[in-house]
Structure 1
């Protein structure tokens, strides 16, 4: 078995890249190489599309293929091979016989990803920003598609970006495409926000218990609200309770979802703790998206996957979405005999979510008045991905040490570091506001723009600082969105991406003043002294 090369996530080996027989995430070299082959096939599809009109089927195959390659999504070699075959079928449908015609011109050939990994480090860095950003964006576009929402500009960009990765382009051509990735991702997040709110209602502040009630239950992890909705429909009257996990927590704030009485609370904390928290769990776990970790023996008989998430020997729920096997496993296992108290990282017994742009902007007058009166002196957006690497306690300490006249906005699973803390209120507003999943960075942007308009200034002139944690590719596309909007002075950690070369890092520092995190005390002093 040949070695792998992968440096797309924050925990990559030695902060340089996973190059052996397996990655730090648990992905085997064979799987990593197949995912490279899948990416190369998608570039071949993009080459074919450059002269043709993609169909709805082509677009879905593109999204599924890109989504499959995100960290902690798919560990199943056969599943990746099926994706490669699906891409080739779509390409052949667009340009029948092109790859084997008598005057072969290589116009639609698959791309060999080794060419990218062995390229000049600055070109590799820019192409990696585009590729990894598009992978994250594909997940958002896929979730919207599952609710019947799509956007042709977003779809077209995937082909444009992938085509560019296969070309011999220089920095002058690639830099604008990096920024365009962020611009298109904003449109994609707006699309998903519309899909979620028009389908399930505008999120409202909701307190979510962390205690698991006695009796049969199912834990649902991931981001896909549509899968959760279908499971809630299929468990009506079955005596099975549903608990969210990880990035599914914000589902409790959507009126149409919270109306189901069997949606009870949240199980556990962030994704990287699942191997400990799921140990001998008396219930099944359904993974709808990342982040799936290698499954331990103590719960391997109760893990189910769906959509593009797959793991060898795990039961996969196909597109028919019949969750009967999951429900039957819940009834068989029976759940806890008594109520099972759980706590957050800091010992809290409940968390609150639902402070999306609809809620925050509905009280914008109170927020503006609190700023004008001096009650609120600073806003911090502290959020992003959580992860296992040491140093992420920085975010807990930062929130704890932030001045009491500041408001903490948060989103994504990074919030589990501190979302069970009681930070009190300012002027009737909670100091800690969970805006939702990682894609709800759109809400944070909407709020920031609205505040800038209210104070007649630019976003960079607001008393607002973004302190972000990153782990995988969705964080990349969100960062690119912020940069495309011209937002500066972002603090990023716990480490800087391995795929950003020194020259590209210097460019980001000089043009956007991105800073790596240091210590909470030093960073707060630096921020508040401005």
Structure 2
């Protein structure tokens, strides 16, 4: 096993025995083998597109396949083996179709000829022998850049898969996924070649986030500033966590009139701000913070728990019997439920006691996506011109368990009273309850939404730059980001594609970035690791 794709990786180098996230060496090997099989499929898929043959069902399968390998999505070895075999079967079928068109199919890479072993045990050993990451390239710097590209497309696939389910798709996104999978097999690439591909990934991720934004706002309306209860009320209950708004809508419809309240957790908090979701009277409040404390928090929730895509840790045995997941193809130790039928979750909630009292623990406010913020942009501009707002900070990103992440809490607490903090993703739970007050009625802490709502943050920054007739880098705006998994990589690539500089990144730098690649990022974009809140604030406010 060799896995360094997330921020929690062992000793800041790589997980080589078992994953800090809970995955085994078997899972790691099979996830890499799935990527390898998808590389093989990319060869005939790319050729087919050159002939004008586009199979949308295949495209969606590939998005799901790449998404499956993202941290915390699928730890089920049997299901991964099935996906690998299905990928190869689809590759063979498409190759046969192309052969009928008399195409020369001398694909050069062995992934195009990969044949999975007949038994799962043999396939696991076969997967271990692939050494996917090590064989990306002999040159450490090129290998590092290829890893950035690989992890970038994992993030892209996550957003594009969610949008695809709503019917929002752009063939450019899937075409790039195929191109990137092929680029990972290419030899003789230069640093410039790899950087160009990485920046293209950033551009495509912007499009994927735009598609998901259109999906969410098109179906549920634009988010509105909404105060969300943090307490609970006496009733049966279900908690939903993850990212998938469509799953939430299904759950709300199927629990209507059944005497069950639905609570959010983690990145589902912003869902309370969508008009077509908050209209449900039993969509009540938010419980807990983010995944870094899941095991304690969820063990204290007295109802059924539903995980939607890619926000799951291995549940404790003491409450695993009431945990359900829609996670693509699931985990081995929790019950997988289809996305259209949550009856098993509902039955479990009705069986359990639920909350037996009412508790008021205050509220947090969410819903400051681009439509809400741009609706008061004139007030913001006036406050800036009057000197009441002197600086903006975007403090957000993925959360994790490391104690160093207290940096973000301390940073936000120390931001000056004449500054505004924009935030998004699960990293905000380090400080979402902080009362920073307001400036001319504008809250100093504005929750933009989920990680994919980086699209909203970008639109806000662009609108401000236009209002002040300057570039985004010339705004009094500082970005202080945390990262955990691959969606954060894709968002970072988007920011680099847009030419945004001076980003502070933490709590540690990615282990897959070599010193030479880091030097390149510093030289061209002035990316820097976080230090202390005091030192970083001093530098950022002086710039």
Q: TM-score range by the shorter chain?
A: over 0.9
CA distance in 2, matches of 1:250, 1:87: 35
CA distance in 1, matches of 2:303, 2:501: 45
Seen in structure 2, the aligned counterparts of structure 1 residues 60 and 112 have a Cα distance that, compared at 3 Å, is farther
Offset at residue 89 of structure 1 (A): 2.6
Pick from 457, 479, 482 the counterpart of residue 492 of structure 2: 479
Offset at residue 93 of structure 1 (A): 2.4
Runs (4+) off by over 4 Å: 101-107
2:431 counterpart residue number:
418
CA distance in 2, matches of 1:298, 1:148: 39
Where in structure 2 are the equivalents of 1:351-500 lying within 5 Å?
351-500=364-513
1:346 counterpart residue number:
none
Q: 1:457-489: per-residue Cα shift (whole Å, max 9, x none)?
A: 110000000000000000000000000000000
Where in structure 2 are the equivalents of 1:164-243 lying within 5 Å?
164-168=183-187, 169-243=189-263
CA distance in 2, matches of 1:72, 1:16: 19
Would you say the 8 A contact 2:243–2:267 is kept in 1?
Answer: yes
Would you say the 8 A contact 1:219–1:284 is kept in 2?
Answer: yes
Offset at residue 339 of structure 1 (A): 2.4
Cα RMSD after superposing both structures: 1.8
2:266 counterpart residue number:
246
Pick from 29, 35, 39 the counterpart of residue 39 of structure 1: 35
Q: 1:260-290: per-residue Cα shift (whole Å, max 9, x none)?
A: 1111011111111111111253211111112
Range with greater deviation from structure 2 (517-526 or 272-281): 272-281
2:318 counterpart residue number:
298
Where in structure 2 are the equivalents of 1:154-165 lying within 5 Å?
154-165=173-184
* Matching of residue 332 in structure 1 with residue 348 in structure 2: no
Secondary structure of the residue aligned to 1:296 is coil
Q: 1:368-387: per-residue Cα shift (whole Å, max 9, x none)?
A: 11100000000000000111
CA distance in 2, matches of 1:280, 1:94: 50
Please list every run of 5 or more consecutive structure 1 residues that lacks an aligned counterpart in the other structure. 344-348
2:157 counterpart residue number:
138
Q: TM-score, normalised by structure 2?
A: 0.93
Q: How many residues align?
A: 518
Please list every run of 5 or more consecutive structure 2 residues that lacks an aligned counterpart in the other structure. 115-129
1:153 counterpart residue number:
172
Secondary structure of the residue aligned to 1:409 is strand
Would you say the 8 A contact 2:262–2:282 is kept in 1?
Answer: yes
Pick from 524, 528, 543 the counterpart of residue 511 of structure 1: 524
Secondary structure of the residue aligned to 1:50 is helix
Would you say the 8 A contact 1:212–1:265 is kept in 2?
Answer: yes
* Matching of residue 59 in structure 1 with residue 59 in structure 2: yes
Offset at residue 116 of structure 1 (A): 3.2
Q: TM-score, normalised by structure 1?
A: 0.95
Seen in structure 2, the aligned counterparts of structure 1 residues 105 and 508 have a Cα distance that, compared at 3 Å, is closer
* Matching of residue 272 in structure 1 with residue 260 in structure 2: no
Would you say the 8 A contact 1:272–1:293 is kept in 2?
Answer: no
CA distance in 1, matches of 2:338, 2:85: 17
Secondary structure of the residue aligned to 1:295 is coil
CA distance in 2, matches of 1:470, 1:28: 22
Range with greater deviation from structure 2 (281-290 or 441-450): 281-290
Secondary structure of the residue aligned to 2:113 is coil
CA distance in 1, matches of 2:7, 2:206: 22
Offset at residue 119 of structure 1 (A): 3.0
Would you say the 8 A contact 1:353–1:434 is kept in 2?
Answer: yes
Q: 1:105-128: per-residue Cα shift (whole Å, max 9, x none)?
A: 556234861553663210111111
Range with greater deviation from structure 2 (254-263 or 118-127): 118-127
CA distance in 1, matches of 2:137, 2:176: 25
2:96 counterpart residue number:
96
Pick from 115, 122, 126 the counterpart of residue 141 of structure 2: 122
